[in-house]
A and B are shown apart, each in its own frame.
Chain A
Amino acid sequence: DTAVSQTPKYLVTQMGNDKSIKCEQNLGHDTMYWYKQDSKKFLKIMFSYNNKELIINETVPNRFSPKSPDKAHLNLHINSLELGDSAVYFCASSDREGEQYFGPGTRLTVT
């Protein structure tokens, strides 16, 4: 009974391509997030949505576009992929007290 799920788990693609990562949570949370974890394990927030509305948008290239069709889903679309986009992307959702529940991650490799 997965709480936060992401697909795909692995994504290998070439520079210049466009790709999407999907995230779904079945916890009934109102808030969802996307994080990027680089090769040094540093975890940085990218976006946050609360009830389908964008509330946090860190300094992220506009090639990255989140979309929340409903409060249980938060997808991440990336245009014109670059080598530096290679990382592990984590989706998370949070309850009212801010405790975050993480998905298993999507390892993106751009060649």
Chain B
Amino acid sequence: AQSVTQPDIHITVSEGASLELRCNYSYGATPYLFWYVQSPGQGLQLLLKYFSGDTLVQGIKGFEAEFKRSQSSFNLRKPSVHWSDAAEYFCAVGGSSASKIIFGSGTRLSIRP
């Protein structure tokens, strides 16, 4: 069965500290993997995606994620967080266009001044 697990419901980090948000997936075929960010009252914005090739992908706003097939993981990282990064982060897995994308339950990120 296809699924996405984000084990951390809520994370608080200090401004300027590094960040890692965890994501594990279960998918029968080669997965397409995504990270989305949702600011309060807003829609979802794509941070980055992995389809194939280099397993370390760079995204917008200084985020990166690493695909580890052996661990079925796609963790999101940022070396130094900013107060504006406070938001809800969703990991998602799917196939090609027109297939269903499964979202994780989200991780809420708070930033400590």
In contact, A102 and B97 (Cβ under 8 angstroms):
no
A56 and B32 contact, Cβ closer than 8 Å, known pairs A41-B105, A97-B51? no
Partner of B101 from A55, A98, A105 at Cβ < 8 Å: A98
In contact, A99 and B106 (Cβ under 8 angstroms):
no
**Residue B84 at the chain A interface, CB threshold 8 Å:** no
Q: Which of A81-106 contact B (CB under 8 A)?
A: 90, 92, 94-105
**Residue A110 at the chain B interface, CB threshold 8 Å:** no
Interface string of A23-55 (1 = CB under 8 A from B): 000000011000000001111110010100001
In contact, A43 and B96 (Cβ under 8 angstroms):
no
- B108 — nearest CB in chain A belongs to which residue? A41
In contact, A100 and B96 (Cβ under 8 angstroms):
no
In contact, A99 and B96 (Cβ under 8 angstroms):
no
In contact, A100 and B46 (Cβ under 8 angstroms):
yes
In contact, B90 and A43 (Cβ under 8 angstroms):
yes
In contact, A102 and B98 (Cβ under 8 angstroms):
no
| Chain A interface residue number, banded | 20 to 34
Contacts of A55 in B (CB 8 A): 98
Contacts of A50 in B (CB 8 A): 98
| Chain B interface residue number, banded | 20 to 34
In contact, A105 and B98 (Cβ under 8 angstroms):
no
Contacts of B43 in A (CB 8 A): 4, 90, 102-105
In contact, A97 and B32 (Cβ under 8 angstroms):
yes
Shortest Cβ gap from A72 to chain B (Å): 16
- B102 — nearest CB in chain A belongs to which residue? A45
Contacts of B108 in A (CB 8 A): 41
**Residue B45 at the chain A interface, CB threshold 8 Å:** yes
Given A4-B43, A95-B97, A99-B49, 20 more pairs with CB closer than 8 A: A30-B98, A41-B38, A41-B88, A42-B105, A48-B98, A56-B100, A90-B43, A96-B96, A97-B51, A97-B96, A98-B95, A98-B97, A98-B99, A98-B101, A99-B34, A100-B44, A100-B46, A102-B43, A102-B45, A105-B42
